[in-house]
Structure 1
Amino acid sequence: MTEVGRDSGRIIFMDGGHNFRDIGGYPTRDGCHVAQGLVFRSGTMSELSDRDHAILDNLGLKVICDLRSTSERSRRPSRLPEAAQYEIWSRDHHMSAGDLTEAMHRPDATPDTVRALMIDAYRTLAYEQAPSYRELFLRIAQGPLPLVFHCAAGKDRTGIAAALLLDLLGVERERIFADYALTDEFFARGCQLIASDPVGHRFAEVDPAIWEPMMRADPAYLAAMFVALEVRHGTAEAFIRDELGLDDEDIMTIRDRLLV
């Protein structure tokens, strides 16, 4: 297990949950730490067991931000307790960047070409998801906590959101990349989820070696995202200001709430 994986209390193991973990505990450049028990990241919540529901209750969870597309939520609705009082936020939208299915079916497709397409997708994914990220960051600034945000694998849309948040809080890039790469601890489970998805048949005729790069948490993907934002905005924080519309007060409040 990676150094991040050994961090006590970060990963929350569940029966039917996937890639659920606390983003807190990381040190920042100015000597603070990201508070634990306030913001969590996750993959799909469509197969949660009753025991998993009890875990969420014990966390005191108040808000769930579902970053999945409209069709993803329709195919695999989250399994949550009927009596749960969570605020659940989602946005009706359809994915474009990151949909590599057609490319993987090409006769000349290789693991390297799929990896290159993933890197390219990461250059635009933060912009595609900007409306969702704005709502997520505003809820972290202004809404009740604890909160969890998630997508399907908890890697791409969720991984970028976590990276932007940790960067805003002053966590070193090396640690941000390590947190992102921790998703690879759940690689086998992620592949199972893809195979069992109602549209998973699209991958049945594709050599797993070709679509494996799509499932990996390759730090090069996240690095491409940061470079794209910095070329256009100067810094990742400037992207948050320019594209998500957060102001000084919002950013200061996020830091006040999440840094100890």
Structure 2
Amino acid sequence: MRAPMNLQLAGTDNFRSLKGLPAHDGRRIAGHTLLRSDQLHMLGTEGWGILKTLGVKTVCDLRSEGEHQRTPNNLPAELEQLALEVTGDMRADKSVSSLLIESPDLAGAEAMMFEVYRRLPGMLAPHLPKLFGLFETGKVPVLVHCAAGKDRTGFAVAVILHALGVARDVIVADYQLSARRIADANDARRELMSTLVSNMIGKPCPDEAVDAIMDARPEYLQTAYDCVDKHYGSMDAYIETCVGLDASGLKSLRDRYLTAD
């Protein structure tokens, strides 16, 4: 895996470009075709200017309508927004949060996160045609984001990278960068997460449980992969079923967005 792009975007904690990630065939992702981030509502003129310099055409927002209303993106007029609303924060779903409520400790937090990732493939599936449509119609570079840029964005980006021919170990390594980015975020972000989780379960949440929720562990993403394999047989089959891209379609996608340079 190449070194991550050293890009700073004031107002975000988990922003990066996937430029240059290697594919199986020796080619790499061309330019800033795909970028990822956490929420964008804190961006100012400078931040939006950086995205313009990077050539971003579309912002794909995976957050819920409620999240949009609380923290709107307020995109500049020249940027197109695709709001897919993959789901709200599943951790607020009682059937998911009950895992932590019943066991407000590290084990409960881990159980909740595994359940979140088991649900992600099904939640994303109906939105994949529109997401891949951005690449088919050339509305790229595209910036994909959610609230933390870790769970919903993490799986969505993993699917796109697989379609582009990036190896799973490289995809997982990029996913893990979110753990370091979030860990480096300011104390206010961590305190906010602790407060949100404590309010959700109705009691103080131990630090180790909050850490597990904020982490980007390979086994979390592997849980989503396992779910795909169980229900579709493979990631290729998942993409073909949900998007309609067969081997020929994937080749065309890669020829368009990979470079040998």
TM-score category, normalised to shorter length = 0.7 to 0.9
Distance of 1:42 and 1:96 partners within structure 2: 16
* Alignment match of 2:100 (pick from 91, 98, 104): 104
Give per-residue Cα distances to partners, 1:218-241, cap 9 Å, x unaligned.
010111111221222221011011
Q: Report the equivalent of 1:166.
A: 161
- State the 4+ residue runs in structure 1 displaced beyond 6 angstroms: none
State the distance in 2 between where 1:144 and 1:55 align: 18
Q: Is the partner of 1:185 in helix, strand or coil?
A: helix
- Runs of 5+ unmatched residues, structure 2: none
Shift in CA distance, 78/195, structure 1 to aligned 2, threshold 3 Å: farther
Deviation at 1:143, TM superposition (A): 3.1
Question: Which residue of 2 is the match for residue 13 of structure 1?
Answer: 8
Does the Cα contact within 8 Å between 2:104 and 2:205 map onto a contact in 1? no
Give SS of 2:29's match: coil
In the alignment, the residues of structure 2 paired with residue 12 and residue 25 of structure 1 have an alpha-carbon distance, to the nearest angstrom, of 14
- 1:41-95 superposed Cα distances (whole Å, 9 cap, x missing partner): 11100101221111111112111110101111111111434xx311111035643
Match of 2:81, SS? Answer: strand
Give the direction of change, closer, same or farther, for the CA distance of 1:17–1:241 in structure 2 (3 Å limit): same
The corresponding residue for 2:219 is: 220
Q: Contact 1:66/1:149 (CA < 8 Å) preserved in 2?
A: yes
Q: Report 1:102-141 matches (<5 A).
A: 102-106=98-102, 108-141=103-136
SS at 2:9 equivalent: coil
Matched to 2:143, the amino acid is V
- Secondary structure at the counterpart of residue 257 of structure 1: helix
User: Which residue in the other structure is 2:75 paired with?
Assistant: 80
Name the TM-score, length of structure 1 as normaliser.
0.86
**TM norm structure 2:** 0.85
Contact 2:15 2:35 in 1 (8 A): yes
Deviates more, 1:172-181 or 1:141-150: 141-150
Distance 1:75 1:133 in 2: 25
- Does structure 2 retain, via aligned residues, the 8 Å contact 1:123–1:224? yes
What aligned pairs does 1:1-260 form with structure 2 within 5 A after superposition? 7=3, 10-81=5-76, 84-92=77-85, 94-95=87-88, 97-99=90-92, 100-106=96-102, 108-188=103-183, 189=185, 192-193=188-189, 195-196=191-192, 200=196, 202=199, 205-247=204-246, 250-260=249-259
**Aligned residues of 1:19 and 1:42 also touching (Cα < 8 A):** yes
Q: Unaligned regions of 5+ residues in structure 1, if any?
A: none
Letter in 1 for 2:153: T
How many angstroms apart in 1 are the aligned matches of 2:220 and 2:169? 14
Q: Percent identity?
A: 31
Task: Indicate the SS of the match to 1:30.
Answer: coil
Deviation at 1:195, TM superposition (A): 4.5
8 Å CA contact 2:14–2:182 kept in 1: the answer is no
Q: Kindly state the Cα deviation for residue 116 of structure 1 after the two structures are TM-superposed.
A: 2.4
- Give the aligned CA root-mean-square deviation in angstroms: 2.5
